[in-house]
A and B are shown apart, each in its own frame.
Chain A
Amino acid sequence: MHIADGILSAPVLAAGFGGTALLAAVTMRKMGHEEIPEVSVMSAVFFVVNLIHIPIGPTSIHFIMNGLVGVILGIRAFPAIMLGVILQALLFGFGGVTVIGVNCVMLGAGALGAYFIWQLRHRFPLGDRLEMIFGGLAGATGVFVSGLILAAALFSTGEEYIATAEYALAAHIPALIIEAIVVGACASFLKKTRPDLLAGQVLQKKME
């Protein structure tokens, strides 16, 4: 789910860089010492996981995992994803250099959306399966929000892409389901073993 060079128009590319700078400035404020290694490791996980292909029937998909990054890092997910996207573009030509801004906003906003959904779990105490359900929803949200932004970016380039943009949303449904399962499983596993790793746990304690 990376947009390549040469598709988007200059204003959209500029908006991407502007949005990235703004989001980075907001999400990196007051980052503590102990958060930097966490962000780096999740950034590395995101970087690698995007390159792994899972064959499914005749086709294959790759993980995006921005939902998982959101669930673990909260708003610090944005700098982690930004770093991952920049390195993917520079080292692998994944996306492209001019599109870094748009790709950062697309994948980073997915992570922030996932975190937002993840935080909603405090309002719906569903018992044992709470983390699994909201982890799953967060995983799906990560893909869905990014898919929406992808579609919007493609829409902006003109009519010939309208069909593509609609198709883009439909094509991400398998990824959405798989991410939901994986992130849900991760969240419920972490809740049992290392609940301190998940984002927003402190808030939960305060509310109790």
Chain B
Amino acid sequence: MATYSFDEVNEMYVDILREIGNIGAGNATTAIASMLQLKINMNVPKVQLLTFQELGSVVCAEDETIVGIYLEVQGDIDGSMMFVMPLDSAHYLVNRLMGRDTEYKEPFDEMDMSALKEIGNIIAGSYLNALSSMTQLTIAPSVPYTAIDMAAAILSVPAIQFGKIGDNALLIETEFGDDMMINGFFILLPELDSYEKILSSLGISM
């Protein structure tokens, strides 16, 4: 067990994540599109392996506001996942869901926050479904938690988790939308022995 370092695991893992990311983001996009009755286009997700210095500014400037949706994951895999997006994108999705003018930019109220959680549920759920059906592993997400704050502050949460095992963070950038492209990032944070489970369930021996 755990004879591979995080960086070694990463090399194999990046390819797999890219594949899961493709399918997961595809699922998530379809789910959002049907919920919001949008015609949606999407771009091929990009997997990025970043240093902590780069991570804080991957979405936007480190002190600009972003939205983070965080879930814990249990079952065959233990860990957590996060979806982050710029404030603009979150406003756009919430406005569509609430049937408001898409230019509306007032701070989120309680209803908006719960809409945001629902969006988080759908995005994360679709993503985890892809991972689950590819690996045949049971993956149960917790309720989503949301935070709206400075980019670097929100991204410090996954950074700390990655920091325990290495000096890099792995994330998947996805873009989808109709008139406006939504730019979001998935960050999947399995515990180290869960990485091995994911890989071995896909037939890659460790």
A binds B: no
